[in-house]
Structure 1
Amino acid sequence: MIDDELAFAGRDKCAVAGIGQTEFSRDSGRSVLSLATEASLKAIADAGLTPADIDGVVRCDHDTVTPYTLAASLGAVNMRYWADTGPGGVAPCMMMGLAIGALMSGQAKAVLAFRSLNGRSEMRLGGRGRKVEPEAVGGFGTYDEFYVPYGLQTAGQTFAMVARRHMMQFGTTSEQLAEVALACREHANQTPHAIMADRRLTLDDYLASPMISSPLRLFDFCLESDGACAVVITLAERARDLPRPPVLIRAVAGGVPQDHRPGMMFPVVTRQDPTELGGRQAGAELWRRAGVGPAEVDIAQLYDCFTISVILQLEAYGFCEKGEGGPFAASGALKKGGRLPINTGGGHMSEGYVHGMNHIVQAVRQLRGEADMQIDGAELCLCTGGPLPVGSSVLFRKAA
Structure 2
Amino acid sequence: MSDAIDHDLFKRIQDKVAIVGIGHLPFAKDIGRPIADTAVEAIQLALADAGLQNEDVDGMCMLEMEATHEVSIARRLGVDGLKWWSKISYGGGASSATVMHAAAAVASGLATTVVCHRARNRGARTSRPWSQERELVKDDKALHVPWGLIRPVDVIGMWAHRHMYEFGTKREHFGNVAIAARKHAHNNPYAMMKGRPLDMETYLNARVIGYPLHLYDCCLETDGALACIVTSIDRARGLAEIT
Q: Answer whether contact 2:117 2:225 (CA < 8 A) is retained.
A: yes
Q: Answer whether contact 2:61 2:87 (CA < 8 A) is retained.
A: yes
Q: Structure 1 CA distance, aligned partners of 2:41 and 2:28?
A: 14
The answer to whether 1:243 aligns with 2:240 is yes
Partner of 1:9, secondary structure, is: helix
Alpha-carbon shift at residue 184 of structure 1 (Å): 2.1
Q: Give the equivalent residue in structure 1 for 2:85.
A: 82
What's the RMSD between the two structures over aligned residues? 2.7
Q: Give the equivalent residue in structure 1 for 2:38.
A: 35
Alpha-carbon shift at residue 46 of structure 1 (Å): 0.8
| Structure 1, unaligned runs of 5 or more | 122-126, 246-369, 371-400
Cα 1:152/1:141, change in 2 over 3 Å? farther
The within-5 A match list for 1:354-393 is: none
Alpha-carbon shift at residue 135 of structure 1 (Å): 9.9
Amino acid across the alignment from 1:209: A
Q: Structure 2 CA distance, aligned partners of 1:197 and 1:87?
A: 27
Match of 1:210 among 207, 210, 214: 207
Cα 1:224/1:108, change in 2 over 3 Å? same
The within-5 A match list for 1:211-360 is: 211-244=208-241
Q: Structure 1 CA distance, aligned partners of 2:167 and 2:19?
A: 39
The answer to whether 1:184 aligns with 2:187 is no
| Structure 2, unaligned runs of 5 or more | none
Q: Give the equivalent residue in structure 2 for 1:57.
A: 60
Alpha-carbon shift at residue 242 of structure 1 (Å): 1.1
Greater RCO, CA 8 A, separation 6+:
2
Alpha-carbon shift at residue 10 of structure 1 (Å): 2.2
Partner of 1:116, secondary structure, is: strand
Q: Answer whether contact 1:54 1:78 (CA < 8 A) is retained.
A: no
For residues 65-108 of structure 1, give each alpha carbon's deviation from its aligned partner in whole angstroms, at most 9, with x where no partner exists.
11111111122235332221222235423222332343234332
* Stretch moving more, 33-42 or 235-244: 235-244
Q: Answer whether contact 1:62 1:135 (CA < 8 A) is retained.
A: no
Q: Structure 1 CA distance, aligned partners of 2:63 and 2:31?
A: 20
The answer to whether 1:143 aligns with 2:146 is no
Alpha-carbon shift at residue 209 of structure 1 (Å): 1.1
Alpha-carbon shift at residue 133 of structure 1 (Å): 6.1
For residues 20-42 of structure 1, give each alpha carbon's deviation from its aligned partner in whole angstroms, at most 9, with x where no partner exists.
11111111111001110111001
Q: Structure 2 CA distance, aligned partners of 1:28 and 1:109?
A: 32
Alpha-carbon shift at residue 5 of structure 1 (Å): 7.0
> Between the two proteins, what is the percent identity of the paired residues?
35
The answer to whether 1:20 aligns with 2:23 is yes
Q: Answer whether contact 1:59 1:91 (CA < 8 A) is retained.
A: no
Partner of 2:123, secondary structure, is: helix
Q: Structure 2 CA distance, aligned partners of 1:190 and 1:171?
A: 32
TM-score by length of 1: 0.54
Q: Give the equivalent residue in structure 2 for 1:153.
A: 150
Q: Answer whether contact 2:126 2:132 (CA < 8 A) is retained.
A: no
For residues 204-229 of structure 1, give each alpha carbon's deviation from its aligned partner in whole angstroms, at most 9, with x where no partner exists.
21122111222111111111111111
TM-score by length of 2: 0.86
Structure 1 or 2: larger helix share?
A: 2
Q: Answer whether contact 2:29 2:123 (CA < 8 A) is retained.
A: yes
Alpha-carbon shift at residue 231 of structure 1 (Å): 0.8
Q: Answer whether contact 1:14 1:236 (CA < 8 A) is retained.
A: yes
Q: Answer whether contact 1:17 1:244 (CA < 8 A) is retained.
A: no
Partner of 1:228, secondary structure, is: strand
Q: Answer whether contact 1:18 1:244 (CA < 8 A) is retained.
A: no
Alpha-carbon shift at residue 157 of structure 1 (Å): 1.3
Cα 1:169/1:104, change in 2 over 3 Å? closer
Q: Answer whether contact 2:178 2:216 (CA < 8 A) is retained.
A: yes
Amino acid across the alignment from 2:54: P
Aligned length: 238
Q: Give the equivalent residue in structure 2 for 1:47.
A: 50
Partner of 2:79, secondary structure, is: coil
Q: Answer whether contact 2:130 2:151 (CA < 8 A) is retained.
A: no
The answer to whether 1:195 aligns with 2:198 is no
Amino acid across the alignment from 1:109: T
For residues 106-126 of structure 1, give each alpha carbon's deviation from its aligned partner in whole angstroms, at most 9, with x where no partner exists.
3321111111111223xxxxx
Alpha-carbon shift at residue 45 of structure 1 (Å): 0.8
Q: Structure 2 CA distance, aligned partners of 1:133 and 1:234?
A: 33
Q: Structure 1 CA distance, aligned partners of 2:212 and 2:34?
A: 36
